[in-house]
Amino acid sequence: MPRDPDRDPGLQPERTRLAWRRTTLSGTVAAVLAVKTALHGGVSAPGIIACALCCVLWLGFLGVAHRRIRALASSPGPAAFAPRHATAAVLYTTAMAVCGAALVL
């Protein structure tokens, strides 16, 4: 579907950038709380592994989010979000949720 050159995108790209930033901040808080929970009872091998896994997942999501924020900021009419990047964002988020649930239980 071709873009209409006369269409004003309004604030939609900015709102989307802000949503990605909020989601990244939420992921950061979740990763920090997961690390705190994993190390609460003292340092142990499973705790270190859980911390490392949460940090790797957070860094992966951060990379996907940063790529999208940069794409949204670079032009008034950014390209559609690539399916592989969307899939990666969903997988990182789901894996971090599973990791957090495992730490709580």
Per-residue pLDDT of 11-42, as tens digits, reads 777 888 889 999 899 888 888 888 888 788 78
Residue 90, token pair as written in the block: 């969903």
Residue 48's contacts (CB-CB under 8 Å, 6 or more residues apart) are: 38
**pLDDT digit string, tens, across residues 33-79:** 888 887 887 888 887 888 888 889 999 999 999 998 888 888 767 77
Q: Pick the closest to residue 52 from 63, 65, 39, 68 (CA basis).
A: 39
Residue 77, token pair as written in the block: 């009419």
Rg of the Cα trace of the chain?
17
Q: Enter the pTM of the model.
A: 0.77
